Amino acid sequence: MAEGTRPIPDWMMGERRRMREQGMQFLAKLSSKKIISNFTNDPRDISTGLTSAVYDVDTEEGRRIVKLRECGALAEAAAYVEWGVYDVPTPQVLRVGASGEDIDWSYIVMEPILDHDGNLAPLGTEIGDEYRDTLDLFLGKNLAKMHKATGKHFGQLLDQDSDQAEFRSWNEYIHYKLGELERQLRVKLLLSLEDIKNLNLLSELDYVPLSVYAHGDLGIYNILVKHTNPFDGVIFDPNPLLADPYYDVAHVLNGKEAWLKKEIDMDMDPFLQAYKDESEVEYFNLRRLAAMRAFAAINRAISTTERHEFERASFYKNIIIQQSHLALA
């Protein structure tokens, strides 16, 4: 997950160091096996998250971006291929695989995404607030394109944190996750019993099941901007999963509110309008969206609390409470 420009708390630095140290070892192994050609310069660490190590590498075959993950690289590469069918701009994957050895990681080798000066393209979080509406339109249009891919050949809905448990519906998944997280909702977020009861009622809402191959972690921090005028961007770093399409939409809206620190006008939001226009949705159910916004905010509220980002955590907590009330109104 991309972290944008937020600082990493001291207690997380040990995990980040471990990822980077093992990442360099694994990168050297890929070179020794000729999976990537010989380095012509020392690899440059451009990692932004805790769950992967990413390197900008000059090789005899040209400049490459190599992303190393403990798991999920194959799914990420498959997502790029699947979404590319629908003209979603994603990185060009050159090689993908897994080691199966002492450092049992998977890897993706990609073409670099460069700006007009030949530098690595900046994140959407780094190009200035004046491009916020442009980023929103880009996100909305391309998320709708991603959701046209059914992902039906990628298997059942899986949850990697529950020993590969399979769920017959998204509501069943929500019910399971809320039960699993109930103690954290009480202890870490200090939600009242009434608020937790409202959250549990979300899994009982009777909506037609929908399933798409979702990005799983979309926001302006997952856009690389090649040019601003005219705008040209690339979507990257997914956490792909089979999910209700409203979940991806909710995740983007929650992140936007937390970034701007103000409530979104749902009738005027350019991201949501672009999503509706591209997906040709005749009727967008705002109550269903509210239910997903409440659910999607939970992990963000917990993780920001654990990182001692209490202002952001409070914002996500308010989203949980407000959106669950809207969903049940």
| Residue where a domain terminates, one of 44, 75, 110 | 110
Residues 283 and 180 in one domain: yes
> For residue 291, which of 319, 311, 270 has the smallest C-alpha distance?
319
| Residue where a domain terminates, one of 47, 79, 110 | 110
220 occurs within a structural domain: yes
What is the total count of domains within the chain?
2
CA angle 284, 253, 244 (to 5 degrees): 55
175 occurs within a structural domain: yes
- The rounded distance, in Å, linking the Cα atoms of 173 and 176 is 5
User: What are the start-end ranges of the E strands in 60-167?
Assistant: 62-69, 93-98, 106-110, 157-159, 165-167
Domain containing residue 142? 129-328
Residues 144 and 285 in one domain: yes
Q: What is the pTM of this model?
A: 0.86
Look-up: residue for tokens 């040709």?
Answer: 280
Give me the CATH number covering residue 219.
Answer: 3.90.1200.10
Residue pLDDT tens, the chain, 329 long? 344 444 455 545 565 676 777 888 888 888 888 889 999 999 999 987 667 889 999 999 999 999 988 778 888 998 999 899 999 999 999 999 887 665 567 899 999 999 989 999 999 999 988 999 999 999 999 999 999 886 554 434 444 444 445 667 777 878 888 888 888 998 889 999 999 999 999 988 888 878 788 899 999 999 999 999 999 999 999 988 888 899 999 999 999 998 888 888 888 999 999 999 999 777 789 999 999 999 999 989 998 898 888 888 999 999 999 999 999 99
Give the burial class of 268: count Cβ atoms within 10 A of its Cβ; 0-12 exposed, 13-18 middle, 19 or more buried.
exposed
